[in-house]
Every structure is written in C-alpha cells, then in structure tokens.
Amino acid sequence: MTTDSRYPGRNRRRMIASLAALAMLTAAAPAKKTGGTDSDNPTCPAEPGWGAAKAISVTTATRGGKRVLIADGIIEESFPARLKAAIEADDKIEEIWLKSRGGDARAGNAAGRIIRSFPGMATRVPAGWTCFSSCNFVFMGGDRRFVEPGGVFMVHMFTHTSDRDAIDLSVGEGTEETIKLIGEIEQSSALLASEDNDFLIRMGISRKLLTDIMYKQQAVASGANRSTRYCLGQDEVRRYNVAPMEVDG
C-alpha cells in the first residue's frame, strides 16, 4: 500500500510518486523459482497470476451461470468510481472477481467500502489468480468472500520507509530535514495502522491477520531472510475470516 497520500511537508509529491513507482517495480519483479514456489517467499508461487501491469480494467462476464464483474490490473484512483458505476449499470452482477498486484492504497479501501454498500455482493479470487496488497482491501469488501483452492491471497507489510530517494534527499538537506522526514513517516505509519484496524473490524475480518501475518513480514528484503510476502493457505483464510466457511453456490 505504498501510494498512500498522507505525507505532509514539501517532499510530499516526490515521496508519493517514488513510492508508487517502487510498488509497481517491486510487484513486477520476477520471482525466483524453486519447485514452482518463490524461493524468497516460499508460501507464494514463483509466478503469481496477479493480472495486467496496467490500470485496472472492469468488465462484465458470465461465469458458471453467474453475472460477474472482473477487475484485472493495477488499482488507481479512478477505480472506485468506475467500479461503482459498473455495478449500478448491471443489477444482475453477483460477484466481483479480482486479479491485481495492488496499487493505490486509498482507492483500494474506497473500493472495498463501495462493494460492501451493495448488500449480498460477493468477492472472489479464482484459482490461478492473485490478489495482493491494496487488492486485499477490495476483496474484504464482499459480504461473501471466496478464495478458491489455487487462488492466492497474498499479503505484505505496508510501509512508508522504502522511499530511498526521499530519505537520501532529506539527509543531504541536513539533520533537521531528516528528523522531520522520520517524524512524518512515523506519524503516517501509525495512522495507516489505525485505519487498517478500523477497516478490518468494519468488514468482519480478524485483526489478527495484521498482527499474526502482515506486520510480521519484512518491509524490505535484506540479509539472509528476504521474505516480504506471505500467501495464506485455505486454513488461514478461514481462521482469520478472510473467506468465511460457507457453501459456495
């Protein structure tokens, strides 16, 4: 969720742009293959099916006799409005199918709240598809939620500290500017953690998903342990109420 827009101060625009670029580059980086898994992130596949490396598309389709809305690509700020318009344009839509490497943090949260505003709307990560980063929060908006066997619900540690250009720039401008930047990062990170907790509570997801899984991932790969992502198994999506146990019909 690296494109969050809550950075105050004069480096705000530079930081947001750098973070957005970093998120896309990190997500798009090829995984190291070891028996079909990512050697750095062994709970995850080596080649996640996380969709197109372009702005998320929203298209309707019929799958298994159901009218579904397919969201495929990188989440950006226009997505919530386009999503809402698409659902309102077709009252037969029953499910939102998601394939995304994430993107804009606030847009993901807003899209999740929009989905929840339509009673009974389901979200699904089909087999072979991946929902990562801010896509997680879109998915959580479903009244009913399904991660199919073979579908990948991939999470990570949301962070503001990976913007090396902004940090290096502040160091070059002196101690006072560096201290200011650190304070801004700490403040925005605390706010983000609070908002994540609030979102999970409202959507009926266990907050232990944050404390047990997300916040235990490394923010930046370093040293011998380079794991920065975690893919939940079927038992875990049930344990944390990400996809509650029910008959899939």
**So what's the pLDDT on residue 175?**
67
Residues 157-171 as b/e (b if ≥16 CB within 10 A, e otherwise) read bbbbebbeebbebbe
Summarised one tens digit per residue, pLDDT across range 188-203 is 665 666 777 888 999 9
Distances (CA, A) of 213 to 47, 86, 230, 239, 241: 21, 33, 8, 12, 13
CATH number of the 12-239 domain: 3.90.226.10
Burial group, residue 149, by CB count within 10 angstroms (0-12, 13-18, 19+): exposed
Q: 8 or 215, which is more confident?
A: 215
Q: Write the pLDDT tens digit of every residue in 67-110.
A: 999 999 999 999 999 999 999 999 999 999 999 999 988 899 99
pLDDT at residue 164, rounded to an integer: 44
- Cβ-in-10-Å burial (0-12, 13-18, 19+) of 3 comes to buried
Q: Which residue has the tokens 């579904």?
A: 68
Give the pLDDT of residue 3.
42
Query: For the whole model, what pTM was predicted?
Result: 0.76
Query: Would you tell me how many other CB atoms lie within 10 Å of the CB of residue 132?
Result: 24
At 112, list the tokens: 């999740």
Q: Is the pLDDT of residue 31 over 90?
A: no
Predicted local distance difference test score (pLDDT) of residue 189: 60
The 10s digit of each residue's pLDDT in 119-171 is: 999 999 999 999 999 999 999 999 999 999 999 999 998 654 444 444 445 45
Rounded Cα distance between 124 and 144, Å, is 9
Q: How far apart are CA 108 and CA 140, in angstroms?
A: 10
pLDDT at position 133, please?
A: 92
Domain spans of the chain, in order of start: 12-239
Instruction: Give me the pLDDT at residue 222, please.
Output: 72
